[in-house]
Amino acid sequence: MTEKKEENNLMEKIVSLCKRRGFIFPGSEIYGGFAGTYDWGHFGVALKNNVQNSWWKKFVDSRRDMFGIDAAILMNSKVWEVAGHVANFADPLDGGQFNTMLKTEVGAKKDEVAVSYLRPETAQGIFVNFKNTVDAFHPKLPFGLAQMGKAFRNEIAPRDFLFRVREFEQMEIEYFLKEADWEKYFEYWRGEMLDWMEEVGIDMNKVHELEVSPEDRAHYSARTIDFEFDFPFGRKELFGLAYRTDFDLKNHKLDYLDEEESKKIIPHVIEPTFGVGRAVLSILLSAYCEDEKDGEVRPYLKFKPNIAPVICAVSPLLKNKPELVEYANTKVFAPLKAEFGRVIWDDNGNIGKRYRRQDEIGTPFCIVIDFDTLTDDTVTVRDRDTGEQERVKVGELVGFIKNKLD
């Protein structure tokens, strides 16, 4: 019972920190909100971008067999009929089935109005560009297409902060291969997904794999593993890995000329899928810590430096001493900002208050320019996790921080 209460408390703490510190705000808040929507503030966007960039770097830029795509959110409604979503993309409600695709109408003149849907997954934007990609790049099997982008679902009961919302972002890969290879690559992608989770700082002790039973699998899947995370509200799906067989390409009547065997085949597909919001929520929950400093509880976000929205904060000890401000600005802030971008100026309140604020933002390093700096060209660098401070030569600062980022 106490544990449950503490866990609920943890969600409240995260939600309130996210709002107070400018990460994530409830959507349309000044009009009473709009269920299942959130707006990302300055630090939230930075965190989200870092998560997405790390994903793209690992799964697209560092590989030879992966192509990127950014397809339209609005698609011809035939896509959703053929893909089976018009018939099957539904959740149970009042004894019936409620289709959770968000329907809309496109076009102005009566006879030109077409029904469309805000895409409920990014995957179909990949499948419909399979032929374009093959024609443009002539890739050999196996190869993949990757996409990051918005998806919409008219969830019956949006809840648990970013966990179940109506507008969210996905990062998906469709990896095309020969049928005989599916098991090998299913295993391979399982490992790649786990590696990435660790890289972005998801607490791997809280990640569990669930083999989804045939009755519970999506209509297109012949095997699915859910990667579940121990959220404060229960163990729930974080990401998924599915073997979609040749279901989608076959339905879209797409095939591939296998040059080795000089015949047309329909490639099979392994699909690693990631929700950006669930990734961010699990990273926040994994990073949140409290310890005691000077008899007070200190909450801080122990982000990995490559994921932290701010890499370092620069502070002149006193903001009313022009010589400190001038030095901090020109010799410390400007070069760090040019090098890392995610660097902020913080001269608000006393040093203790600044540290507390930066701890809550999860800034790994706070750099303070004091009177000694003016005579010996060194600054203090304070470590977020240990609170320890060391003097570093101003000329060596960029290298010092760079080392910590690797």
Footprint of ligand ATP on this chain (CB under 6 A)? Answer: 121, 153, 155, 164-165, 168, 170, 237, 239-240, 273, 275, 277-278
Q: How far is the CB of 366 from ligand ATP (least distance, A)?
A: 33
Distance CA 379, CA 100 (A): 55
Q: Based on CB atoms, which residue is closest to ligand ATP, 191 or 295? A: 191
Q: How far is the CB of 48 from ligand ATP (least distance, A)?
A: 13
| Amino acid sitting at position 234 | G
Q: How far is the CB of 343 from ligand ATP (least distance, A)?
A: 31
Q: How far is the CB of 227 from ligand ATP (least distance, A)?
A: 8
Residue with token string 């022009």: 322
Strands (DSSP E) contained in 52-160 are: 66-68, 74-76, 90-93, 96-99, 102-106, 114-118, 143-152
Q: How far is the CB of 121 from ligand ATP (least distance, A)?
A: 6
Q: Based on CB atoms, which residue is closest to ligand ATP, 67 or 168? A: 168
Backbone angles phi, psi at 209, to 5 degrees: -100, 135
Q: Based on CB atoms, which residue is closest to ligand ATP, 224 or 363? A: 224
Q: What are the residues whose beta carbons fall under 8 Å from the beta carbon of 229, sequence distance 6 or more?
A: 202, 206, 207, 208, 235, 236, 238, 278, 282, 285
Q: How far is the CB of 13 from ligand ATP (least distance, A)?
A: 21
Q: Based on CB atoms, which residue is closest to ligand ATP, 210 or 394? A: 210
Q: Based on CB atoms, which residue is closest to ligand ATP, 119 or 164? A: 164
Give me the residue whose beta carbon is nearest to ligand ATP: 275
The answer to whether 194 touches 63, Cβ cutoff 8 Å, is no
Distance of CA 322 to the CA centre of its chain: 41
Q: Based on CB atoms, which residue is closest to ligand ATP, 7 or 237? A: 237
Write the DSSP string, 225-288.
EEEEEEETTEEEEEEEEEEEETHHHHHTT--EEETTTTEEE--EEEEEEEEHHHHHHHHHHHHE
Q: How far is the CB of 388 from ligand ATP (least distance, A)?
A: 37
Tokens of 124: 């179909």
Q: How far is the CB of 162 from ligand ATP (least distance, A)?
A: 6
Distance CA 129, CA 193 (A): 24
Q: Based on CB atoms, which residue is closest to ligand ATP, 149 or 275? A: 275
Q: What are the residues whose beta carbons fall under 8 Å from the beta carbon of 75, sequence distance 6 or more?
A: 116, 117, 119, 124, 125, 128
Q: Collapsing DSSP states into helix, strand and coil, what is residue 224?
A: strand
Q: How far is the CB of 155 from ligand ATP (least distance, A)?
A: 5
Q: Based on CB atoms, which residue is closest to ligand ATP, 164 or 384? A: 164
Q: According to DSSP H, which parts of 21-145 are helical?
A: 42-56, 77-82, 85-88, 123-127, 130-137
Q: Based on CB atoms, which residue is closest to ligand ATP, 38 or 333? A: 38
